[in-house]
Amino acid sequence: MGVAMERRAFLRGRRRLPQPLRPPGACAEAVFVARCDRCDGCIRACPERILRRGGGGFPEIDFTRGGCTFCGRCVTACARGALAPWGRGRPWMLEARLDAACLALQGIGCMSCLDACPREAIALRPLCGRLAPQVDAARCDGCGACVRPCPVGAIRMVRREDAARGAA
Ligand code: SF4
Ligand code: SF4
Ligand code: SF4
């Protein structure tokens, strides 16, 4: 679906566009944008430099710059409660998705994402007569560390709820 058609569907309420990927611990989107005053505090606090100003000046996470270590500095920096500590739970429901550009699917040896994953959530499994990397959603914590090392940009992070309703 093209952008114009997607927007028309969005306006008709048939399909919602994927929401931006916010920093870890972000409140529900409506609460987040109400609380965040776009001070850039979280962006400055991130030692991995993976946060940037996105649409409307609100912070977004850019996994092409690197993965999140869940250090929590962005949360500490937020004085408005737009980001909240996640305790022992998960800060977000993101997971890695691999697409058809993956070199391994074309028979070219590459295991960069497997090597990069700190949770061993990516493994080679048989797919269409080849061994291809596949993500174990139960192990993936959405850190995004696999995105940047992929030489062909075949990995992106998606929100599970967007994926479940076909919007990712
Ligand atoms: S938890 Fe740490 S690494 Fe992750 S976005 Fe926040 S400041 Fe950056
Ligand atoms: S790093 Fe990219 S190209 Fe390499 S195996 Fe992983 S998804 Fe495929
Ligand atoms: S997002 Fe993190 S945990 Fe998930 S597959 Fe990629 S590197 Fe592994």
Say yes or no: CB of residue 116 within 6 Å of ligand 3. Answer: yes
Q: Rounded mean pLDDT of 114-126?
A: 96
Q: Which pLDDT score is estimated for 83?
A: 97
- Residue carrying structure tokens 């080679």: 124
User: How far apart are the C-alpha atoms of 135 and 114, rounded to whole Å?
Assistant: 9
Q: Which pLDDT band holds residue 16 (cuts at 50, 70, 90)?
A: low
Say if residue 87 is exposed, middle or buried (CB neighbours under 10 Å; 0-12, 13-18, 19+): exposed
Indicate whether 92 pLDDT > 80.
yes
Mean pLDDT, rounded, of the chain:
89
Dig out the tokens for 129 from the structure: 């007569």
Q: Which pLDDT score is estimated for 161?
A: 80
User: How far apart are the C-alpha atoms of 147 and 156, rounded to whole Å?
Assistant: 6
Residue numbering of the annotated binding site for [4Fe-4S] cluster: 36, 39, 42, 46, 68, 71, 74, 78, 140, 143, 146, 150
> 60-88, pLDDT tens digit by residue?
999 999 999 999 999 999 999 999 999 88
Indicate whether 131 pLDDT > 60.
yes
Q: Which pLDDT score is estimated for 167?
A: 64
Q: Which pLDDT band holds residue 166 (cuts at 50, 70, 90)?
A: low
Domain formed by 94-163, architecture: 2-Layer Sandwich (3.30)
Say yes or no: CB of residue 110 within 6 Å of ligand 2. Answer: yes
Say yes or no: CB of residue 122 within 6 Å of ligand 2. Answer: no
Indicate whether 10 pLDDT > 70.
no
Q: Which pLDDT score is estimated for 3?
A: 47
Pick from 140, 106, 107: which is nearest to 123 by CA? 140
Instruction: Report how far ligand 3's centroid is from the alpha carbon of 118 (Å).
Output: 7
Q: Give the fold, CATH level 3, of 3-77.
A: Alpha-Beta Plaits (3.30.70)
- Closest residue to atom 6 of ligand 2, CA basis: 113
How many C-beta neighbours within 10 Å does residue 118 have?
11
CATH 3.30.70.3270 domain position(s) in the chain: 94-163
What is the distance of C-alpha 19 from the center of its chain? 11
Percentage, residues of the chain above pLDDT 70: 88
Say yes or no: CB of residue 21 within 6 Å of ligand 3. Answer: no
